[in-house]
A and B are shown apart, each in its own frame.
Chain A
């Protein structure tokens, strides 16, 4: 069974810092990996999708990398802002899933960016 782990569970940084969120997974046989943002009491917003054949994806101040062979992904946030405060979730879609194309989620990193 695919296990997804996110470290750290919580992170507090001052505004303007560059930061890295980590995601690891146990089975490297994946279709893709997706990073989501979740604001308190809200739904999941897709940030970046990395296919298994890709090494990284960028969107604005966000850059996600994927090292499939080592089972790791990082989400890099440049020049953090208070509006970046949210929970960030990593999810993997596995080739060997017994549940079709279901996503396996990490428990998230709760980010607080202080002014």
Chain B
């Protein structure tokens, strides 16, 4: 009964380093998305995918890259980390269509120093 699994839970990066935040779901959901949560800003959409091989940008995509080679996995890549990317990152999935429920992972807390 895993649902949406994110790894790692915590990460500290130095400015300029790269890393990949992993997200996997076992519910065969078509729609997956990444959000970041910052104090006073709420959750904002970074990238989303409506199915394997299809990705698109959300509200705050700069500095992030995504791909979707399988239905299950939707990794988020930081190519050159900046302090402004210090945030909590959440991955979500839903079964596609607008009427469905969204499920979230437990989040990755990222600090860029």
Binding site for B on A (CB under 8 A): 31-32, 34, 36, 41-46, 49, 51, 89, 91, 93, 95, 99-103, 105-108
Chain A residues contacting B98 (CB-CB under 8 Å) are 31-32, 93, 95, 101
Of the residues B31, B42, B97, contact of A108 by C-beta under 8 Å? B42
Shortest distance from the beta carbon of B30 to any chain A beta carbon, whole Å = 9
Binding site for A on B (CB under 8 A): 31, 33, 35, 40-43, 45, 48, 50, 56, 58-59, 90, 92, 94, 96-107, 109
Chain B residues contacting A31 (CB-CB under 8 Å) are 98-99
- Closest-by-CB residue of A relative to B88 is A41
Chain A residues contacting B41 (CB-CB under 8 Å) are 107
CB<8 Å pairs between A and B, sample of 26: A31-B98, A32-B99, A34-B102, A42-B107, A43-B90, A43-B104, A43-B106, A46-B102, A46-B104, A49-B101, A89-B42, A89-B43, A91-B43, A100-B33, A101-B48, A101-B50, A101-B96, A101-B98, A102-B33, A102-B45, A103-B43, A103-B45, A103-B102, A105-B43, A107-B41, A108-B42
Report how far A51 CA is from B99 CA in the complex, Å: 7
Report how far A108 CA is from B56 CA in the complex, Å: 27
A107 touching B104, Cβ below 8 Å: no
B43 touching A101, Cβ below 8 Å: no
Shortest distance from the beta carbon of A90 to any chain B beta carbon, whole Å = 10
Shortest distance from the beta carbon of B89 to any chain A beta carbon, whole Å = 11
- Nearest first, the 7 closest Cβ-Cβ pairs linking A and B are A31-B98, A43-B106, A44-B104, A105-B43, A107-B42, A105-B42, A102-B45
Shortest distance from the beta carbon of B56 to any chain A beta carbon, whole Å = 7
